[in-house]
Amino acid sequence: MRRRGFKVIHFLHIGKTGGTALGRVFHGNQRVGNSWLVLHEHSTTVRRLPKSDQFTFVLRDPVDRFVSAFYSRYRQGKPAYFIPWTEAEASAFASFPDANSLAEALSNPEPECRENARAAMHAIGHVRTHYRDWLGSVENLSELSHRIPLAGWQPDLDSYLCCLVDTLGGDPGQYRFPNNAAQSHKGGHGGRAELSDLAVENLLEWYGDDVRWVEAVRRLDLFASNKALVNNHDN
């Protein structure tokens, strides 16, 4: 979508990183300040964007993202949506009724259990996805960085929203995230804290490429923060 006379910035919606809440803030594609913000569905990747356009996204600790993704699909998308399990997901949740049991089984000494766990990781929506599915190879980040005015870190979504609106030329005080779980698509799980050390170790290996993405974005200082916004106003 193009808007003549406006700078266009695209938001890539990486699953389970806060994109649903952001969509509730902006209510679809819209003008913000002197820019046009385009909010994309999960299916849009960086390869589908015009090569001259800027884009932004939010990342999350891969282990936390796994837990959120597991229980989001366990709830079949509730409270924000209702997306029934696929046959493969139903089988996966029958074998692994909680996130810890699935993560631990990835290194189970029994080959059948280990293979069942790997099949479940590939079957469960959001669990099976990686940052490269939206952003491509982490090795290409340096070539893309000039098109990324900022990136968000999920625990700091408020800071990201402020910096994003400021980057778009709008007034950050006019935008707030929704407070209720249904609008923000939050679930009531324990996050990383409910996982054993073995489960975390297995997940860090499974999502190793995602960990490298987080490290690379942090190394290039692309993550937004309140301090960055304050500095921007002071200059």
What is the Cα–Cα distance from 71 to 190, expressed in whole angstroms?
A: 10
Q: How confident is the model at residue 148 (pLDDT cuts 50, 70, 90)?
A: very high
Q: How confident is the model at residue 230 (pLDDT cuts 50, 70, 90)?
A: very low
- The one-letter code for the residue type at 227 is K
What is the Cα–Cα distance from 202 to 6, expressed in whole angstroms?
A: 46
Find where tokens 């209720």 sit.
180
Provide the 3-class DSSP secondary structure of residue 40: coil
User: pLDDT value at position 28?
Assistant: 80
Provide the 3-class DSSP secondary structure of residue 31: strand
Paired with 55 in beta bridges are 10
Q: Quick check: 157 and 18 in contact, CB under 8 A?
A: yes
Q: How confident is the model at residue 235 (pLDDT cuts 50, 70, 90)?
A: very low
Residue 191 vs residue 162, higher pLDDT:
162
pTM of the model: 0.90
Q: Which domains does the chain have, with CATH numbers?
A: 7-234 (3.40.50)
Query: Mean pLDDT in the chain?
Result: 90
Mean pLDDT of the 223-230 span: 61
Q: Cβ contacts of residue 135 below 8 Å, gap of 6+?
A: 12, 14, 45, 46, 57, 141, 144, 213
What is the Cα–Cα distance from 176 to 199, expressed in whole angstroms?
A: 35
Q: How confident is the model at residue 178 (pLDDT cuts 50, 70, 90)?
A: confident
Q: Quick check: 144 and 107 in contact, CB under 8 A?
A: no
pLDDT at 221 over 50: yes
Query: Tell me: the pLDDT tens digits for 112-142?
Result: 999 999 999 999 999 999 999 999 999 999 9
Q: How far from each other are the two terminal CA atoms of the chain, in whole angstroms?
A: 32
Find where tokens 């952003």 sit.
135
What is the percent of the chain with per-residue pLDDT over 90, rounded to a whole number? 80
Q: Picking from 52-56, 127-131, 200-204, 225-229, which range would have the lowest pLDDT averaged per residue?
A: 225-229
Q: How confident is the model at residue 179 (pLDDT cuts 50, 70, 90)?
A: confident
Tokens of 177: 């995230």
Residue 186 vs residue 61, higher pLDDT:
61
User: pLDDT value at position 233?
Assistant: 46
What is the percent of the chain with per-residue pLDDT over 70, rounded to a whole number? 89
**Alpha-helical segments (H) within 16-129:** 19-26, 62-74, 87-95, 99-105, 111-123
Find where tokens 């964007």 sit.
49
- The one-letter code for the residue type at 128 is R
DSSP letters along 122-168, please? HHSTTTT--THHHH--GGGHHHHGGG-S-BEEGGGHHHHHHHHHHHH
Paired with 223 in beta bridges are 151
Query: Tell me: the pLDDT tens digits for 43-54?
Result: 999 999 999 999
User: pLDDT value at position 187?
Assistant: 56
Q: How confident is the model at residue 188 (pLDDT cuts 50, 70, 90)?
A: low
